[in-house]
Structure 1
Amino acid sequence: MDRKIKLLWDFRGPDAKETAKHHTIHLKEFAVLEKLNFHEIAIKENNPMLVSAFIIVDEKDMKTYRDALKPHRGEIA
């Protein structure tokens, strides 16, 4: 069974939620353009001043996403 990796981008400040939502649009565009698989693209509101955009991908695709999109961090999903 392949592991799934969650790649995250953190946004801070009063506009964090809107910025994170906008970032998910670009994550979807990239995946479609590059014909890459993904499991989920969404945001996670840690608090009103810290919101993360994330994409969950198969471990085998992680390096492609990581190298092209430069996430702030990653974790096993």
Structure 2
Amino acid sequence: MNRKIKLIWDFRGPAAAKTAEHHEIHLKEYIVIEKLPLNITGFNILNEMHAIAFMVVEEAQMIAVRDALKPHRGEVYE
């Protein structure tokens, strides 16, 4: 079974929520352009000064996507 990895971009400051929301648009575009098998993206507002955008990739694609998009961190997606 292939593990799924959640790649995460952190945004901080008063515009964090809008920036994370906008970043998700670009993540969706990347998925279409690269024809990635998974289409799981999103953004979460953690508090008024911190939000994240994320995308989930299969472990086999993680290195290529990480090198291309430079996420701040990642975790195993369940």
Same topology, TM > 0.5: yes
Match for 2:42: what amino acid? A
Identity within the alignment, %: 56
Deviations 1:17-72 (A, max 9, x none): 10001000100111111111224100122111100000011111111210100000
- Aligned alpha-carbon RMSD (Å): 0.9
- In structure 2, the partner of 1:40 is 40
Q: Is 1:60 aligned with 2:56?
A: no
TM-score computed with the length of structure 2 as normaliser: 0.92
Structure 1 unaligned runs (5+)? none
Q: Is 1:7 aligned with 2:40?
A: no
Q: Give secondary structure in 2 for the equivalent of 1:28.
A: helix
TM-score computed with the length of structure 1 as normaliser: 0.93
Large movers: runs of 4+ above 4 Å? none
CA distance in 1 between counterparts of 2:64 and 2:9 reads 16
- Aligned length in residues: 77
Structure 2 unaligned runs (5+)? none
